[in-house]
Amino acid sequence: MSCAAWLLAVAIGAPVAAQSSDAGGTAGPGEEPDAPPRLPLLGPTSLSATSSSLLQWRGDDLDVHEHDDRVLVGVERLEMLAQGDRVSVSLRLDALLPLFVRDGASWRQPCPEGLEPTCRIRPDFRLERLSVQWRSEPWLVELGDGTLALGRGIALSLTRIDTLGVDTSHRGLRVGHDDGRLFGQLAGGLFAIPALRDARGPAGTLLLPVGGAVNPQNVDRLEDMAVVPDGRDVLLVAEGGGRLGAHRDIELAAHAVRAWFDEDPESAITADGWVLGWRMTAPSLFDGSIAVHLEADAMRLDHVQRRLGLHRRRWGRAALAQVVWSAGPTSVQVDVQDLRAFLLAPDGAPPRRTYGTAPVLDRTGEVMEDASNARGAALRVGHGFEPGPWSATAGLAGYGHSPDAREDPWTGSRARAVGHGWLEIERRAIGAETDWSLTVVAGVRRHVFLEQSPYPGVGSGDLEWSTVHGTVDFGLSSGIHALEIRLEHREERRRDVRGRLAPWRRGGLTISYANADTDLSVAPMLLWNTERDVPGLRLGPLTAGRNLYPGLEARWQLGDGRHTLRLFAGRTPATRLCSNGVCRDVPAFEGVELEAVLRI
C-alpha cells in the first residue's frame, strides 16, 4: 500500500525532477532550461507530493475488550498538489489495511456477539480530499474540500487539530474577496438537507443551493484506527467586513452560520441551528503597544425527535475580550470570556462533529472541562531581563463552569470554580558554540464545588480536585551534538466514587539526543500514571497496577530534511486530551510504530 503510494508520488514528481536536473530533458522552444512543466488549464505548474505511511503493531490497549488487540495496521495518506499561476488542484488518498493475528491471521476484525458497535477496524480506501482553487486578486474561488474558520474559531472552525486526531474540511463551493479594505466570503453548495419544519410532521428533505457538507477524516488514527463513516452534516457560511484606519489595522467583521446536523442513528434525533456574530481586531494600536480582540456570538440550536414528537430549543451566547499590552521587555495579557451553552455541535457529539472551538483561559495543556459553558478571566505577565537570556512569566486564571448547559456556570446546582496560578522561568540559548537552555514551570490548580456536590457531606466551597505540577526542561548543545532532558510530574487529588479525596500521580521523563551530522535523534522515555488504581475516577481500574510506561522513539531526517523516518516502541498511558475547549479520552497503547514521510 505505501509502496504504491510512493511509486505514484515519484511518477507525479518526475516531471519536476526532470526539469530541474542538469542531465534532464531538453527544454522546449522559448522555454527556460529550469522552467516548470506546462499543463493544460494550469500553465506553468509546480508539482509536489507527500506520502505519509504508518505501520503500527497494536498489542494491548489495556481496556476490557480484547478483540481490538494484536492487530497489524498499515495506514497510507498520499497528498498531491499541482500549483499553477492562478489555478491549483490538490487531492488526498487515504487507505487502511488491518491484519488481525489474535486467533489466526484474518483481514476482518473478530467481533464477539453484542459488541458489534465497538468493532470498527476494517480495510478502507477512499479519495478523502479533492479541491480545485482559482485565485486572481482580490478574488478566490474554491470547489471541493478546504479549511474554513471565522475569527478565533468560536463560531466556526473546520481545520486540522492534531492534538485530538481531528481533520475536518468543508466540502462545497467557497467564494472569497479581499482587496485589503473590504473582505468577505460565502461557502455553500447544492446538497439534500433535512427539513426540520415541525417535530410532529413527517420527515422531509429539501434540495437547496445552500450548504457545504462537512467532511471528517475517516480513519481515527489517534484512538483505535477505527473507520468512521462520512456524515451528512451541512453548513452554509457567510462573512463580510472591512479594515479601517490609514494603515487598515482595525478590522470589523460580521458572520453567520446555518447548520443542519445528520440524524443520530441511536436516538433518531436531528438538529439544526444558527450562529450570528461580529468581531473586532486591532493588532497594533498606539504604535504597536496594544493589541485588542473582541468577539460576540449568539446561537440557536433545535433538537427534534420525530417519533416521540419531541422538540428542544437551546439558546447560547459567547463573548470574549483579549487585550495585550507591550512595553519593551514587559508584556501583560488580559482575557475575559463568557460562554453559555455555546458549541456548534449536536448534543453528545464526538470531537469530529464539533465545528466550533471554545477559547481556553487556562494554561496551555491543562484540561478545561465544560469550556463551552464557562465564565471567567485570566492574567499573564511576562518580563525579559535584557540584555541577558533570562525571562519570567506569571499567570493566574479563574473561572466557573457547569456540565449542564441550562445552568449558569457560577450559580447552577452543578457549578464548579477553578483557580490556577503558575510561574515559568526560562533561560534561552544565545547561539554560542556550547550553549544551554532551561525552562522551569511550577503551579497549583484547585477545583471547588460552588453550590452542591453529588457526595454526602461534601458541599459548597469544598475541594473537588487539586493539582500541584512542575516541569523542568534542560537543553545542552555543543557542535553537532544536542541533548535535552525533560521531566514532568503532577501530584493530584480528586473525589472518587465514594466522595473521598483519592491521590494519584502522573508524569514522565524523556532524554533526547540528536546528532546534526547524521540527522538522527533518539529519545528513551518513561511515563507513569497511577490513576487506574483509584476506583471510580474517569479512566477507571481497567488494568490496575500497570503504572509504568517505558518507550523509545528514534527519528531520522533524510534528503535535507524533506523525508522523515520515525520509530516508536513501548507503551503510553490512557489520557484525556483537550484543544480549544474540546476534549476526548484516548486509550492506552502498547506496540510498535514505524512511520515514513516522503516529500517530492
Name residue 458's beta-bridge partners.
none
SS (H, E, C) 143-156: EEEECEEECCCCCE
**What three-state secondary structure class fits 53?**
strand
> DSSP labels for 206-247?
EEES--EEEEE-SEETTTT-EEPPP---EEEEEEEEEEETTT
| Grid coordinates given for 266 | 441511536
**At a CB cut-off of 8 Å and minimum separation 6, what does 194 contact?**
203, 204, 205, 206, 260, 262, 263, 270, 272
Q: How distant, in Å, are the alpha carbons of 69, 103, 121, 229, 238 from that of 113?
A: 17, 16, 16, 22, 47
Report whether 551 contacts 569 (CB < 8 A): yes
Per-residue pLDDT of the chain (600 residues; tens, 9 = 90+): 334 443 333 333 434 333 433 334 445 555 555 677 877 777 788 999 999 999 998 876 655 556 667 788 888 999 999 999 899 999 999 898 888 766 656 666 667 676 666 666 778 888 888 999 999 999 999 998 888 889 888 898 887 766 666 677 888 889 999 999 999 999 985 443 333 333 333 333 333 334 456 666 666 665 666 677 777 788 899 999 999 988 888 999 999 999 888 887 777 788 889 999 999 999 988 888 999 999 999 999 998 887 777 888 989 999 999 999 999 999 999 999 999 989 888 877 766 677 887 777 888 878 778 888 999 999 999 999 988 899 999 999 999 999 888 899 999 888 999 999 999 999 999 888 899 999 999 999 999 999 888 888 888 899 999 999 999 999 999 999 999 999 999 999 988 878 888 898 999 999 999 999 999 999 999 999 988 777 665 544 444 457 899 999 999 998 887 899 999 999 988 777 666 656 667 777 889 999 999 998
Rg of the chain, C-alpha, whole Å: 26
Strands (E), 343-480: 374-384, 390-401, 416-427, 434-449, 463-478
Q: What is the pTM of this model?
A: 0.81
Half-sphere exposure of 381 (CA within 13 A, CB side): 3
CA–chain centroid gap for 389, Å, is 32
Q: Could you give the angle at the alpha carbon of 96 between the alpha carbons of 95 and 100, nearest 5°? A: 165
- Tell me the C-alpha distance between 553 and 163, whole Å: 18
**Amino acid at site 579:** S
